Amino acid sequence: MLNWIWLGLVLTSVVFAAFTGRMEAVSKTSLETAKRAIELVIGLTGAMVFFLGLVRVASDGGLLRVIIRGLRPLLRRLFPDVPADHPAMTAIVMNFASNMLGLGNAATPFGLKAMVELDKLNRHKGVATNSMALFLAINTSSIVLLPPLGTVAVRVATESDSPFSIWLPTLFATICSTVAAVTACLLLQRLRVFAAKPLRSREEEEIPAPDLSNLPDLEVPGESEKHRSPGPWQWAILLSFTVAVALGYGLHVAGLLPEVGPLGVLQDTVNAWLLPLLICGFLLIGVMGRVRVYDALVEGGKEGLSVAVRIAPFLVAILVAIEMFRESGAMEALIGAIEPLTSAIGVPGEALPMAFMRPLSGSGAFGIMTSILETHGPDSFVGLLSSTLMGSTETTFYVLAIYLGAVRVSDARHILPACLTGDFAGFLGAVAACHLFFG
């Protein structure tokens, strides 16, 4: 799908430029944008390395283990068809916990493992079970507790004054998408049209499965070995830091409150205090887990470096195509056509391509978001909305293709309608949250 979209953008740009007399501008911007894309990747590499390093510190310190323990009771209720001691349940818990921490690279192998284990409970091979459908609905709706680090890194690279301001709107949007996807999944599975039926011709309908030989072990962190409890020094560091910061924050608020009021204090807290407190919070989780925080941060940062290198070709390709489309005048014509429709629901026409691309391609959506932030500014309303949309859901069609292909499911039943319902709810939630938080 992305191949055709990218090709269509480039070809349409050239054709449109031929009629508008902007061929020289299109030619010039293609090379300039490629150069600017690499400069942008270099700019966001530092933020990616640092943020992913912090997540590694918190994960090693026990945050992942805490999330896993909290998820298990809820997931046992959501997946009554999966025995509590079955490997599928462990894989599901590990996948969701990794996703909630934003550890996408770790979450995908556990997700594939979950699908393989769920398929062992499947009575109709090649047909998605209710548990598979619910698992994928939650996966594509993508609740992430931590700030969307990739988006934050781009906002930092584009010189945002408050790169973390989209954290709460994004969390609100993902909650909307998850609740809608789960609700739709549970309701649609009851309809007769989506009832599970054996395939008539297994040979004709099955699809090739990817190589699953390198799936991870299902060992939950902290279960195979005794977790080291914090000692006196760890508690002393935590308590002294908490008391000092609380006193400093109290004095700051006391001086600021008469000038700006409660709302101004809240905005100042989010803009000025949130990032330093988040950094220290991650580090203190590592300290309480007796982690060598510097070593863990450096080790986790290596993944951030590899992520930045990996996204560079995608970012160059997408940004060049989008800027050619913009310089040709085609983007202006498209926005002019859809603006009257989108303005009725408070959505700038410039953000609509982001909403269409997000379910189709993660790299494509990332490129569109980056282009919008560079063109309109990261702290403009369209920039804030695009940043929020980036984290509102997952790449639905990619996730379904990978996970269903892993177990050769060709009859997905109600999965796609449920996931698209979540995508639409995430879009509406992002729009509502941005109007609420940013006006």
d(CA 116, CA 209): 11
Both ends of the chain: CA-CA distance in Å?
35
Classify residue 90: in a domain, yes or no: yes
Q: Is the pLDDT of residue 42 over 50?
A: yes
pLDDT in tens, 106-148: 677 788 888 888 998 888 888 899 999 999 999 888 777 777 8
Domain carrying residue 209: 2-6+38-221+237-438
357 lies in some domain: yes
Q: Is residue 286 part of a domain?
A: yes
Give a yes or no: residue 32 inside a domain: no
Q: Map residue 329 onto helix, strand or coil.
A: coil
User: Would you say residue 287 lies in a domain?
Assistant: yes
Evaluate whether residue 20 is within a structural domain: no
- 3-state SS of 241-268 is HHHHHHHHHHHHHHHHHHHHHHHHHHHH
pLDDT at 104: 61
Q: Could you give the percent of the chain with pLDDT greater than 90? A: 24
Between these two residues, 105 and 430, which has the higher pLDDT value?
430
| CB 97, CB 388: distance < 8 Å | no
For the chain, what's the residue count? 439
Number of domains in the chain: 1
Give the per-residue pLDDT at 204: 43
Residue 26 included in any domain = no
Q: Is a pLDDT exceeding 90 seen at residue 244?
A: yes
Q: Give 91 or 2, the one with higher predicted confidence.
A: 91
Mean pLDDT confidence for 259-269: 80
DSSP secondary structure letter of residue 200: S
The answer to whether residue 374 scores a pLDDT higher than 80 is yes
Tell me the per-residue pLDDT of 311-357, one tens digit each, with 9 for 90 and over. Answer: 788 778 878 888 888 888 887 787 777 777 777 777 888 888 888 88
State the chain's mean pLDDT as an integer.
83
Quickly list DSSP for 334-389: HHHHHHHHHGGGT--GGGHHHHHHTTT-HHHHHHHHHHHHHHH-TTSHHHHHHHHH
The per-residue pLDDT for range 213-226, each reduced to its tens digit, is 556 555 555 554 45
Distance CA 202, CA 410 (A): 9
Strand partners, 127: 411
The pLDDT assigned to 224 comes to: 46
Q: Quick check: is 31 in a domain?
A: no
Tens digits of residue pLDDT in 64-98: 788 878 888 888 888 988 888 888 888 888 888 87
pLDDT tens track for 285-312 = 999 988 999 999 998 888 778 777 777 8
> How deeply is 423 buried, as exposed, middle or buried, from its count of CB atoms within 10 A (0-12, 13-18, 19+)?
buried
pLDDT band (50, 70, 90) for residue 203 = very low
User: What mean pLDDT is predicted for residues 28-38?
Assistant: 85
Percent helix, strand and coil across the chain, each to the nearest 5: 75, 0, 25
